[in-house]
Amino acid sequence: MLQNGDKAPDFTLAASPDKLVTLSDLRGKNVILAFYPADWSPVCSDQMALYNEMLRFFERYNAVLLGISVDGAWCHKAFTKDRNLHFDLLADFEPKGLVSRLYGVYQDGVSQRALFVIDDQGVIRWSYLSPIGENPGADGILQALESISTTA
């Protein structure tokens, strides 16, 4: 798993069937990558709902949140609509798990539950691997964003 100080690998993934997101296009903003195993699972649903509620706090730190799993863009679209999410879920679908592998968080056919906070220059400033069955919450993300803002 990539760690603090590593350069975040660039990628382009589908955010919907007709929209692509490229990490390097977000330079100048802090980026939160929330890798998770699967749409519709109970823990993932709770985690994404929490982050949806936390968006205004993340935005105070000039941060963009991106969820990433190996589910396809159509699955993400349905999940986003059903859960009323207001951030992009990216499909690490084909080739399956490529971006998850780049970040060192792919195992047994799914993305592990992992968080990365990337600064506005594309450097990982914090990472965390959570047990698959536990919602990691948002405290670590907020602490990492606060740390970035105090050193900038």
Written as tens digits, the pLDDT of the chain (152 aa) is 999 999 999 999 999 989 999 999 999 999 999 999 999 999 999 999 999 999 999 999 999 999 999 999 999 999 999 999 999 999 999 999 999 999 999 999 999 999 999 999 999 999 999 999 999 999 999 999 999 998 76
Q: E-assigned strands of 6-51?
A: 12-16, 19-22, 30-35
Whole-model pTM: value is 0.97
Reply yes or no on whether 44 is catalytic: yes
Per-residue confidence (pLDDT) for residue 116, from 0 to 100: 98
CB 8 within 8 A of CB 126: no
Token representation of residue 142: 């907020």
- How distant, in Å, are the alpha carbons of 6, 66, 73 from that of 52? 27, 11, 19
DSSP label at residue 85: -
Angstrom distance (rounded) from CA 140 to CA 124:
14
Per-residue confidence (pLDDT) for residue 152, from 0 to 100: 62
The active-site residue out of 34, 44, 91, 138 is 44
Domains and CATH numbers, the chain: 26-151 (3.40.30.10)
Per-residue confidence (pLDDT) for residue 100, from 0 to 100: 98
- The residue assigned the tokens 């929490």 is 50
* C-alpha Rg value of the chain to the nearest Å: 14
- The residue assigned the tokens 């405290």 is 139
